[in-house]
Chain A
Amino acid sequence: MLFTTDKQTQEDLNIYGKQGKDSILSLFNRTSTLNGGRILEEMFNYPLSDAEAINKRVGIIKYLKAAATAFPFNSVLFDQAEQYLANTDERSKLSAEKPSLEKRLTSLVATDADYKVIDSGVMALIEIAKHLDSLLKNTLFAAGSPFKSDTESVSISGLLTEEPVNLLLRETPKHKFSREKLATFDTLLRFRHRDTIQRILRYVYQLDVYITIAKVATERGFVFPVAVAREEHIVKIESFYHPQLKNAIANSLEITPDKNIIFLTGANMAGKSTFMKSLGIAMYLAHMGFPVAAKKMEFSVRDGIYTTINLPDNLGIGASHFYAEVLRIKKVARELSTGKNIFVIFDELFRGTNVKDAYEATIAITSAFAKKCNSMFIISTHIIEAGDVLRERCPNIEFKFLPTRMDGTIPVYTYTLETGITDDRHGMIIINNEGILELLKKGKEAIAI
């Protein structure tokens, strides 16, 4: 089964971001090869929903990180090789026959471009094969490596001992080939064993991605998540933070089937949205088998993730914010009703309606969610009054809040999660700080005089 998510979620979490702006993808998108970047993007498009696959990928990246493996290929080689392989026209095949006198004279005056492409392509493939061979032997297949049990790696290393790659390995790349020899290689590489060559290249691109991720994990101090059995329905995450923020404050959280709803409160600017985004990003990356911005993470694999953090009003079609929220909840409810176990984040539920409605709706929806013990919900709200009712009604809700400390009249935010429901109401203090009421009063007096 596929891991499901949607555009709204990816936008909320800033997975792809806007063109030219920082995003979660751009955090990792530092591959040496162009095709590596494409594979990376594909991985972002399709997170995994299978614990075994996730742990396997984690194992591989973890190993590369421990071995501090560097990508040993020069990225120019791939441009040359791809350009060479791109031409599948039989007529361009290099013929072994001696060229006519006319042709030789022409090539004296201007070098034959096609010949050059073939020559540099074959040379590049030789170099790639040699580097890959030594990488496999020295690093990937060292003792205790997870690559040993990776079927693709094993069959790739098998390919290296067969024709035509074994022939490539015998050559030295800088050495100039005779025309006949080059023609033989051209036929082998570009036509007869084309699929094998492309498979090997794809494998190298994949390696590029893994090595890049391992490097990012090392540089940023990210940690590898552990996927546990789906049936446990847990998420345990220690000291996670937002990977795009500098000096981000870390928080820990534990979600279990008997505490599967986190009811989050806190003043404005206390960091509710950032907290939710950090958690969403960690869950998303974990399902890709990528390292996460945390100290430790264990999680049961979910079937999907849905967030609602910055919901746009769709005024064009006449839907108000409230209605947009209702439709969003309906979408999530539909997913839940198919029996999927999903991870859901709702920021500021029902902010677009009057208090009474928001209060009733929050209680109704949250208690309905509470019955779905196998899914996980993070819900934040301003309607703190709803918390008291929910506490009575649903035992599986965990109440958390982000506190505000008053330093004199100035609010300070700790960004550190605490248990309970907030009773911080500093809105009036902010208004008083800005001196709005005095301003109006003073102005009135001045006019009266």
Chain B
Amino acid sequence: MSFIADKQTLEDLNLLGKFKQHSIFSLFNKVNTSGAEKLLIGMFQNPLTDAVAINNRSAIFRYFHSKELSFPFNNEQFSMVDNYLSNGSGKYYPVVLMGLGKKKLLGTIVKDEEYQKSQNGLLQTIALLNKCKEFISQFSDDKDNPFYDKVLTVKNILHDPRLQWLASEQSGKLSLTKMARYDHLLRYTMEAELANLIGTFYQLDLYISVANFARTKMFDYATALPAKENLLTATDVRHPGIEKAVGNPVSFHQNSNMIFLTGANMAGKSTFMKSFGINVYLAHMGFPVAAKEMKFSVKEGIYTSINVPDDLNMGYSHFYAEVLRVKKVAEEVSSGKSLVVIFDELFKGTNVKDAYDATLAVTAAYSEYRNCMFIISTHIIEAGEVLKHQDNLQMLYLPTIMNGNVPTYPYKLEAGISSDRHGMMIIENEGILELLES
């Protein structure tokens, strides 16, 4: 079963999209080869739901994180060789020989370029394989390496007796018969082995590049726990895409499964919620997270509602769009799935009385699902006064500190309900009322 994150969630958290500005994918997309990029896309599209698989993957990242290697190949080398190998050769050696002979003949008579092309491809492949051999040799028999099996397989392929000639054939000149023999060997006899080798190198590229990126950003790795406990703790949770982001601790468990978040505008409510959501998602991919000491029970999915769009074409108002979103999540939650749910500014599109009633009713009903985790933010701070008697709710707020007339935001969570109301202050700062009096 795959991890659930619907379109709205992916957009709220800006997770996917190679060409989208500041998407989390493009943040991590520091790989060299396009093969690795494909793997990265696959990982982003399919987070894991199995604690063992998650921990295995994060162990590999951890290993490369500590190794500080660099991936010495570029995309051009690999795509050329990949292209050459995947074209395939003939099944029988004589046929290959004859085919190449014909190309060579055509090359001399009518300047056909096919032979030259085949020769180039072969030479490039030989060069790359030699380089690979050199690169892989630096992995000594390191039994701690969680990637060791793969490395060993590649090593064995490269040290295959059939490939012994590799080291001696770097001069760049090959006779027709040699070419035919190598061509047949690489593209037919050992086709599967070499495909495996290239695939492993793409993985190496991905692991090394992402781990290096994580090191520069001081990211850490999360530990996945079995789903049962509904536990999530982390310190210094921050937004991976923001430089000098302020970190906050988060702690959820069965008996404290909901955060009721308040705070002024611009105090950082949405950013905090997004940071949490993104890190939960990354953790389920086994990726480095922008948090410290993160431990989490594996969840089945995540739903957010941060920028619910009005669907005016279908005649929905903002309020109705929100109601539909809440309903969709309710359906999922009530089916017994264990989810992470984030609602930003619930029911902002309606009048105060309704928003108050609705926030109370919906929040209370959701909080009973102890197998899920919720963060709900709202402007209706009055609702918090009623809800704070429920012991599984954590009341948190992001404060505003007034520095003279200017509001400043420390972006640090504090316990309690916000009592900051600086809206009028902002209006006064802008001097609007005086303008109108004049």
Contacts and interface: CB of A to CB of B under 8 A. Distances in A.
Is B a genuine binding partner of A? yes
Interface of A: 267-269, 318, 320-323, 326-327, 329-330, 333-334, 336-337, 350-361, 364-365, 368-369, 371-372, 382-385, 425-428, 430-431, 434-437, 439-444, 446-447
Interface string B282-326: 000000000000000000000000000000000101111001101
A359 B358 CA distance: 19
A369 B423 contact: no
B347 A323 contact: no
A323 B336 contact: no
Interface string B318-351: 1110011011001101111000000000011111
Contact of A355 (B326, B366, B379, B438): B379
A427 B432 contact: no
B127 interface: no
Nearest to A437: B365
A354 B424 contact: no
B368 interface: yes
Contacts of B426: 322-323, 326
Given A337-B435, A361-B424, A425 B353 contact: yes
A362 to B, nearest CB: 10
B48 interface: no
A443 B369 CA distance: 9
Given A443-B334, A444-B368, A337 B379 contact: no
Contacts of A322: 265-266, 423, 426
A90 B295 CA distance: 85
Given A268-B349, A361-B423, A443-B334, A320 B362 contact: no
Interface residues of B, number: 54
A361 B423 CA distance: 7
A370 B366 CA distance: 44
A441 B265 contact: no
Contacts of A384: 351-352
Contacts of B422: 357
A443 B327 CA distance: 13
A439 B330 contact: yes
Nearest to A368: B436
21 contacts: A267-B351, A269-B320, A322-B266, A322-B426, A330-B432, A333-B436, A334-B435, A350-B423, A354-B379, A354-B423, A356-B421, A368-B437, A371-B436, A427-B353, A427-B357, A430-B320, A430-B323, A431-B323, A439-B330, A443-B334, A447-B336
Given A382-B352, A443-B333, A357 B432 contact: no
B361 A437 contact: yes
A355 B266 CA distance: 16
Given A336-B436, A427-B319, A352 B265 contact: yes
Given A329-B427, A371-B436, 16 more contacts: A326-B432, A329-B432, A330-B430, A333-B436, A336-B435, A352-B265, A354-B381, A369-B436, A371-B437, A382-B352, A427-B358, A434-B324, A434-B327, A436-B362, A440-B334, A443-B336
B421 A427 contact: no
Contacts of A446: 334, 336
A434 B323 contact: yes
B435 A326 contact: no
Contacts of A337: 435-436, 438
A446 B426 CA distance: 49
Contacts of B423: 322, 350, 353-354, 356-358, 360-361
A357 B421 contact: yes
A382 B351 contact: yes
Nearest to A432: B361
Contacts of B336: 443, 446-447
A323 B267 CA distance: 13
B129 interface: no
B355 interface: yes
Contacts of B324: 434
A427 B354 contact: yes
Nearest to A269: B317
Contacts of B369: 440, 443-444
A364 to B, nearest CB: 6
B334 A439 contact: yes
Contact of B433 (A320, A364, A430): A364
Given A354-B423, A441-B365, A428 B430 contact: no
Contacts, number: 164
B358 A440 contact: no
B264 interface: yes
B432 A323 contact: no
Given A365-B432, A425-B354, A440-B365, A268 B265 contact: no
B135 to A, nearest CB: 43
Q: Which of A321, A356, A364 neighbours the largest number of chain B CB atoms within 10 Å of its CB?
A: A356
B334 A442 contact: yes
A344 B423 CA distance: 22
A381 B251 CA distance: 38
A439 B331 contact: yes
B427 A361 contact: yes
A353 B422 CA distance: 10
Contacts of B351: 267, 382-384, 425, 427
A183 B315 CA distance: 65
A321 B315 CA distance: 23
B13 interface: no
A369 B379 CA distance: 26
A428 B365 contact: no
A367 B358 CA distance: 31
A360 to B, nearest CB: 5
Contacts of A372: 436
A409 B171 CA distance: 85
B382 A268 contact: no
A365 B437 contact: no
A343 B348 CA distance: 28
B434 to A, nearest CB: 9
B330 A436 contact: yes
A119 B229 CA distance: 91
The 3 closest A-B pairs by CB, nearest first: A443-B334, A427-B354, A357-B423
A439 B433 CA distance: 48
A321 B265 contact: yes
A142 B135 CA distance: 96
B95 to A, nearest CB: 58
Contact of A440 (B264, B319, B330, B350): B330
Most chain B Cβ neighbours within 10 Å, of A384, A428, A439, A440: A440
B380 interface: yes
Contact of A268 (B320, B362, B430): B320
A115 B109 CA distance: 59
B132 to A, nearest CB: 45
A444 B335 CA distance: 9
Nearest to A430: B323
Given A330-B432, A444-B334, A428 B424 contact: no
Interface string B263-275: 0111000000000
Interface in B340-396: 347-355, 357-358, 361-362, 365-366, 368-369, 371, 379-382
B433 A368 contact: yes
B333 A440 contact: yes
Contact of B347 (A427, A440, A444): A427
